Structure 1
Amino acid sequence: MAWIYALNAECGPRENHARDLARHFEGWPARVFSDGAGWWCGIAPEDLSSNGAHTAAEAAAMTAAGRQLYWLLRTAPPVYRYALAGVETDEFRTYADLVAERDLTIFPGLVVSEDIWAAAGRRAAFSDFAPGYRWLPYRGETHR
């Protein structure tokens, strides 16, 4: 089974929002898909390990890609509700699952809308990310 590294963003019930976000990442391999509850935009950089970070070099390559993806996400149109970069982050939580989660700080790199952050208790661990969004700063990937 492949372990794909990607930035995945949940864009709510409107497919066009996910497509708008995919267009923002022009030049990066993008995939728009639905989990039945919402639309997602996934950006999966090419030439990364497809079985996780088993070496320091693989972890460094994934971390560099993640930093670039988050940098681009900062200037993206505000059409997503939450996003996360890492291995196997596609559909990591439905919107209902995410807002029901007791402690969002277990997801380093998680970017959430101000609405989700407020509903989750305005945890101090989250910092400003972009207008309308907060995040748990991305720490990068480690090898196992």
Structure 2
Amino acid sequence: MAWIFSLSAEIGSDEKSAIIFAGYFQWLTYIDYKTRQYQCRVDTFRDIENNWWCRVYPNNISEVGIDHPKTAGLMTELGNLLYEHLHSVNLLCEDKGFLFPFRYALVGVEVDEFRTYSELIEDLPNLSIPGLVLSTELTQGLETLSGFQEFSSGYIWQPYKGEVYHPSMALQT
């Protein structure tokens, strides 16, 4: 079983918005980190609630999850780069007068479909997931969410803390 490290974003029910989101990341053929380039892939899919997701993932990073502290460090650095790309695309869209078409996003291992929309809304008042980026439209009517700060116009997030190596988890793979 392969474990995919990715930036995964839930777009909503509009397939066209998922295609637009994916299109912004199609140009990201490689992520440069130190002296290596990591080829990126982008795909879209529907979840069990018929909402569209986009997954952006550096290929061949790990097929077994985080099996070593160096793997965690590499994934953390690549995760930071994926968030930078997400942030810069948001700024580009803001300059053009529209919001980027996603409702929430997260970087990590096996984060695609980490919460369906209805699960996220149910958990929202008590949600604590470092790296989670939320559209402020989802949080309207809620008091300020603990630990969240501005990510870009129209989005808030809990800052990304990186990936962590857990030796006990490595033994289970």
Once the two structures are superposed, what CA deviation does each residue of 1:89-113 show, in whole Å capped at 9, x if it has no partner? 11111111101004111x1100000
CA contact (8 A) 1:53 1:59 kept: yes
Written as runs of structure 1 = structure 2, the 5 A alignment for 1:104-123 is: 104-105=127-128, 107-123=129-145
- Structure 1 segments unaligned to the other structure (5+ residues): none
Unaligned runs of 5+ in 2: 30-39, 94-99, 167-173
2:78 to 19, 40, 65: 65
Partner deviation per Cα, 1:105-127 (whole Å, 9 max, x = no partner):
1x110000002233553214101
TM-score by length of 2: 0.78
Distance in 1, Cα, partners of 2:119 & 2:41: 27
| 1:43 to 2:43 alignment | no
Say yes or no: does 1:82 pair with 2:94: no
SS of the aligned residue for 2:83 comes to helix
Aligned partner (choices 90, 95, 104) of residue 117 of structure 2: 95
TM-score (norm: length of structure 1): 0.93
Q: Quick check: 1:60–1:141 contact (8 Å CA) kept in 2?
A: yes
Shift in Å, 1:132 = 0.2
SS, match of residue 113 in structure 2: coil
Contact 1:127 1:135 in 2 (8 A): yes
Percent of counterpart pairs with the same letter? 39
How far residue 47 of structure 1 moved from its aligned partner, in angstroms, is 2.6
Number of equivalenced pairs: 143
Q: Which is strand-richer, 1 or 2? A: 2
Deviation track 1:15-56 (CA, whole Å, cap 9, x = no partner) reads: 111111111112231010011421000011113111111111
- The answer on whether the counterparts of 1:109 and 1:138 sit within 8 Å (CA) in structure 2 is yes
Q: Which has the larger radius of gyration?
A: 2
